[in-house]
Amino acid sequence: MRALVTGATGFVGAAVARALLREGWQVRALVRGGSDRSNLQHLALEIAVGDLNDRPSLDGAVAGCGALFHVAADYRLGAPDPRQLYSTNVEGTRNILLAARHAGVERTVYTSSVATMGIPSDGSPGDEQTMVSLEAMIGHYKRSKWQAEAAVLAAAKSGLPAIVAMPTTPVGPWDWKPTPTGKIILDFLNGKMPGYVETGLNFVGVEDCAAGHLLVAERGKRGDRYLLGAENLTLKGLFDVLAGMTGLRAPALKIPHGLALGVAYVESAFSRLVGKEPQIPVEGVKIAQHTMFVDCLRAQRELGFQPGPVAAALERAVRWYQGNGYVSPRRVRKMRLAA
């Protein structure tokens, strides 16, 4: 069977494409003209040049495909022009859904995010049933993903064979851009992480996340949501794991949320003046005020999803960053990775 993968040049999208190829699928990748194709090197797939906001290009890309993996998204916190997020994440999703319906695609898997979940008031981990309103979403990225997911669920109710995959926080190799999470890991590796805020996330290896997408396509129920995650870790716990495997010192200074938010406001204002994206986005700090621990048992129980240890995924990420020049030579000399 042939599958169209949108966002195939990105971190998760490329991992999904690799997983499909390993399972014997024919893969067509939707790629914007002029985009960086580093993640597609040496992959035996077909390229379809198009754009989520160019409906005719989507009709051509999805033609003849039995499955659609819509992974593409504009994942930025603190984007200078939020309209770009809504254009890609919301309108682009609606466009590709229409193209899939018109082409008679048999199965659509939409890559949503743990960001669209609510947080239980009692502090317990959330799950697929922990719903939340649009008004409770922090920042334009989360709002745009919430609206896109709502469009997918509405399409599923109207008969489109669509299912929602909800990755938590993927980590691993091939993070060329890198992602916001990758930047946190790199700041640690390069000694640019003086402290940490008290927060927590669920992490998952990107390869496991990709394998989960195939399970969602094969075993998921139309209109349902499946969290693809592995382990809940505090940010300090993440740094402790990285410190243990690299021999680098973990930051010991806990930064109050109020101070971090003040710094973020100042840095973001300066970034706007010089026309750059902020290194410390305000919405990122606001999101970090909430611990996003989740319960991923549904995917394990219903789909047979079996993610590996996050520490192993982090080690693969560290080795890949080091091997591709993302870590300064001075810091590499201090690292003590096992052979």
d(C-alpha 203, C-alpha 313), whole Å: 9
Let me know if residue 235 belongs to a domain.
Answer: no
Let me know if residue 261 belongs to a domain.
Answer: no
Q: Give residue-wise pLDDT tens across range 106-151.
A: 999 999 999 898 888 777 898 998 888 898 888 888 999 999 999 9
* Structural domains of the chain, count: 1
Query: Among candidates 195, 233, 240, 1, which has minimal Cα distance to 106?
Result: 1
Structure tokens at 22: 């390993």
Instruction: Look up tokens 């993996």; give the residue.
Output: 69
Quick check: 195 and 327 in contact, CB under 8 A? no
Q: Give residue-wise pLDDT tens across range 87-105.
A: 999 999 999 999 999 999 9
Task: Specify the pLDDT at position 232.
Answer: 96
Q: Is 141 noted as a catalytic residue in this protein? A: yes
Let me know if residue 286 belongs to a domain.
Answer: no
CATH number at residue 119: 3.40.50.720
pTM: 0.92
d(C-alpha 329, C-alpha 89), whole Å: 38
User: What is the signed CA dihedral for 317, 320, 326, 329, rounded to 10 degrees?
Assistant: 110
Sheet holding 169-171, edge to edge: 169-171, 200-205, 231-234
Let me know if residue 244 belongs to a domain.
Answer: no
Let me know if residue 240 belongs to a domain.
Answer: no
d(C-alpha 263, C-alpha 286), whole Å: 12
Quick check: 114 and 229 in contact, CB under 8 A? yes
Q: Give residue-wise pLDDT tens across range 206-235.
A: 999 999 999 999 999 999 999 999 999 999
Query: Among candidates 240, 229, 231, which has minimal Cα distance to 188?
Result: 240
Catalytic hit among 75, 86, 110, 141? 141
Let me know if residue 41 belongs to a domain.
Answer: yes
- 167-181, 268-282, 311-325: range with lowest mean pLDDT: 268-282
Let me know if residue 78 belongs to a domain.
Answer: yes
Range of the domain at 99: 2-173+203-230+294-309
Let me know if residue 288 belongs to a domain.
Answer: no
Does position 44 have pLDDT exceeding 70, yes or no? yes
